[in-house]
Structure 1
């Protein structure tokens, strides 16, 4: 059955308000609505699924990890009964876990060896609390918390007091190597600082037990 002659005018009046309303809407609104519909539809079919994070690089002990901030080479991981030269004083039932590293400051300003924006913030030990208290000293003269000058290599010892039965000789220790971004402050905060650490590589090395360390020197050298 065909529409009556008056059907078209009725439909025109019925939907006339829609035309009037849409005529007043900015074109960018339509673009936004269309984009929203597209995103919802794409997400429904998995098109916006979170991409898998990039695989972490795997380094060997003694292999340098280089960023704009520093060059860092982890050479040894040792357990020792005490290491006062580094500034760690284990209590009863604790020992000292230490990493021996070669470092070069690659920035154009001096950098501290420890702190939230320091070279020390560019690596962590897998499974260890990132807020765990640590201490650091130069290997050659036991200077604690040294400041590293641009382009000057240094051998450092980072140390933590740990439960005596938490680590043992021959166990594999994973070091998480992180890259920090250089932030330039403005307005309230000025100057530059290294921040936002992101883990980009790992290294696994075997823990050595050097016993009481009576002949280890201030930084855990072999006797």
Structure 2
């Protein structure tokens, strides 16, 4: 029989001694990691680690410039016209041409080709139209699929053939300008290219019906 002050029985002391010995062999950083894990779990439970909301695209007006490491883009007009062969689009019965006129400047260090499916056309889209225009042309000399030289401003046209009844004068369109990411190839793929469009700016614009052209 033990009396007060005698301390734990030998068996009890042996048990606690084993626990102390085991804890002495655990690296201190393990305790820090366990404490951190408990803290993170508690914080997450209360929403303290919620991911910050990603900013959405900015809203611009026609005539405003959006500039990134690939292009500077200014949307000028969206027009509906009976025909526009100079832009490289030829309509059939019941069709008209919807054309988007914009100023662009290649802000990169290499020429950028502008043709349907290129990184230039991926950089600008119009809600309600196919992602890629049917044709791209310079507005000043009607060059089709022009190459945009670094630092040289150009005015170009994206053009689509559309059903004549699908659009009307004054109709609101939303143009989106995308930021692209530059990738550098290695091993199998060589060179550099722009891809992965992400919406950076939206431009509401009213469609102008100019009939036979003007």
C-alpha spacing 1:27/1:105, structure 2 compared with 1 (3 Å): same
Q: What is the match of residue 99 of structure 2?
A: 98
Unaligned runs of 5+ in 2: none
TM-score by length of 2: 0.82
Q: What is the match of residue 139 of structure 1?
A: 139
Q: What is the match of residue 200 of structure 1?
A: 200
Q: What is the match of residue 12 of structure 2?
A: 10
Q: What is the match of residue 182 of structure 2?
A: 182
C-alpha spacing 1:37/1:82, structure 2 compared with 1 (3 Å): farther
Q: What is the match of residue 46 of structure 1?
A: 47
Are 2:120 and 1:119 aligned?
yes
Q: What is the match of residue 166 of structure 2?
A: 166
Are 2:108 and 1:107 aligned?
yes
Q: What is the match of residue 210 of structure 1?
A: 210
Partner Cα separation in structure 2 for residue 167 and residue 11 of structure 1: 88
Partner Cα separation in structure 2 for residue 120 and residue 150 of structure 1: 17
C-alpha spacing 1:11/1:162, structure 2 compared with 1 (3 Å): farther
> Aligned Cα RMSD in Å?
2.9
Judge conservation of contact 1:114–1:121 (CA < 8 Å) in 2: no
Partner Cα separation in structure 1 for residue 13 and residue 117 of structure 2: 69
Q: What is the match of residue 72 of structure 1?
A: 73
For the residue of structure 2 that corresponds to 1:167, the secondary structure is coil
Judge conservation of contact 1:113–1:119 (CA < 8 Å) in 2: yes
Question: What are the Cα deviations for residues 108-138 of structure 1, in whole angstroms up to 9, with x where unaligned?
Answer: 11001135552222221134453x5532111
C-alpha spacing 1:55/1:118, structure 2 compared with 1 (3 Å): closer
C-alpha spacing 1:134/1:47, structure 2 compared with 1 (3 Å): farther
For the residue of structure 2 that corresponds to 1:41, the secondary structure is helix
TM-score by length of 1: 0.79
Aligned residues: 211
Deviates more, 1:146-155 or 1:45-54: 45-54
Partner Cα separation in structure 1 for residue 195 and residue 145 of structure 2: 19
Deviates more, 1:78-87 or 1:41-50: 78-87
Judge conservation of contact 2:116–2:133 (CA < 8 Å) in 1: no
Shift of 1:46: 1.2
Question: What are the Cα deviations for residues 21-71 of structure 1, in whole angstroms up to 9, with x where unaligned?
Answer: x55555554444433332221121111223233253222212222212111
